[in-house]
Structure 1
Amino acid sequence: MPCRYLIALSLAASLLAACSSGEPEWNGHDIAGIMPDLTYELTNETGETVTEAARADHPRLMFFGYTYCPDICPITLARIQAALKQLPEAQREAMRVLFVSVDPERDDPARLREYTSGFGDQVIGLTGNQKQLKALHKRFRVTYGYGEPDEDGFYLVSHSSAVFAFDRQGQARLLFNQDVTADQMAADLSRMLASAP
């Protein structure tokens, strides 16, 4: 399912839930009960194979991208960083950001570690082989693809720009698209974390 249809479906569900419950609307899209729990098997920045259990009991944000991305990735990670800075200290320190590279050919653990270090200690670089990446993308109904290399071998990668938010139990809760500001993201995350058991 293309990302635009997922967002439209999530928005519709969010509006219906808000109308029926009397709760204020989210700035992002409420995907609780629509998207599956966080599950993955990937390689981290030190070359170790890890699963979602590695960050158990931490609320997490997950974003797909690659380190050679010229615009969406650095802008999105900077927006996430700005949002996290607005959270109360306890909430901010609990949060983890999973930056999943869909370009394992160029983004080895060392490259990921260098890239994510520019966005704060809470950002963790992950990648995997094509089988692992495709399974994760299928699970969350998003896609990625590779452009043709230029004469220098450089190529662009198309990928989802959505940021997924999961609670401490790894349950999908929110989806942020590029229209959600850092302030709005911070408000949603604080509300999500405050309401968590």
Structure 2
Amino acid sequence: MTRTQKTVFILIALVALILGLIINKALSGRGQVDSVALIDAGIILLPQSRQLPPVTLQDQNGQPVVVNELKGKWSLLFFGYTFCPDICPTTLAQLRQIKSELPKEAVDKLQVILVSVDPHRDTPTQLKQYLGYFDPQFRGLTGATVDDVQKVSNAVSIPFIPADTSKPNYTVDHSGNLAIIGPDGTQRGFIRAPLNNQKLVAQLPGLLLRK
């Protein structure tokens, strides 16, 4: 091995070490041993928790919910809408299946929340009926205006493009990613779309049940 090759080798080793230390620091204290498996399952944890805005939305029962007060359980926020032709029913069906395969102690610490990106059509009544097709325990949130919903989606870095509601049968462009909200009401990370049921069933309990 030449001196140049040795230098390159040492530099590569140092970069690998530094990257390893950064990842370890970002995930330290999270009680998750296999960070590679987490990432492989599409679970990306933030190096630092992110505060949610104090925006008030309505749930599927017409009750006010302050977004930064979603506490006590782990929440998976999915930004979609009830008239969505494809990604929303597919994602909600997957979340129902994933939930059904999790251990009970993990399910008890989890809530799935559909945040409507179409408050023009998605009334609390519409949300409740729609979510009942998937899981009556799923929660729904809708805003008085699309601006309210955008404040939340932008805060968790899952933006959407508001639709032209004057057009008949309009659709809304949105992401399939989920925001992970911890029991303290802060954002802890994301779950990337498309969801991998098998890998999420294997990895979510370690996240939901950690101290």
Tell me, yes or no, whether TM beats 0.5.
yes
**Structure ID, larger Rg:** 2
CA distance in structure 1 between the aligned counterparts of 2:166 and 2:141, rounded to whole angstroms: 26
Cα shift at 1:19: 9.7
CA distance in structure 2 between the aligned counterparts of 1:63 and 1:54, rounded to whole angstroms: 17
Number of the residue aligned with 1:97: 112
User: Match for 2:154 among 117, 131, 138?
Assistant: 138
| TM-score normalised by structure 1 residue count | 0.80
Contact 1:46 1:110 in 2 (8 A): yes
Moved more, 13-22 or 127-136: 13-22
Cα shift at 1:45: 1.1
Instruction: Report 1:146-165 matches (<5 A).
Output: 146-147=162-163, 153-165=168-180
Q: SS of the residue aligned with 1:104?
A: coil
Cα shift at 1:161: 1.0
User: Match for 2:94 among 71, 79, 82?
Assistant: 79
Contact 1:28 1:177 in 2 (8 A): yes
Identity of aligned residues (%): 27
Query: What amino acid is the match of 1:145?
Result: I
| TM-score normalised by structure 2 residue count | 0.75
For residues 92-141 of structure 1, the C-alpha deviation after alignment (integer angstroms, 9 at most, x for no partner) is 13311110001011111110000011121321111102231121122112
CA distance in structure 1 between the aligned counterparts of 2:146 and 2:166, rounded to whole angstroms: 22
CA distance in structure 2 between the aligned counterparts of 1:74 and 1:15, rounded to whole angstroms: 40
Q: Which runs of 5+ in 1 are unaligned?
A: 1-12
Number of the residue aligned with 1:188: 203
Instruction: Report 1:117-132 matches (<5 A).
Output: 117-128=132-143, 129-132=145-148
Q: Which runs of 5+ in 2 are unaligned?
A: 1-18
Contact 2:146 2:162 in 1 (8 A): no
Moved more, 102-111 or 84-93: 84-93
Number of aligned residue pairs: give it: 183
Cα shift at 1:147: 4.7
Q: Structure 1 stretches (4+) deviating beyond 6 angstroms? A: 19-22
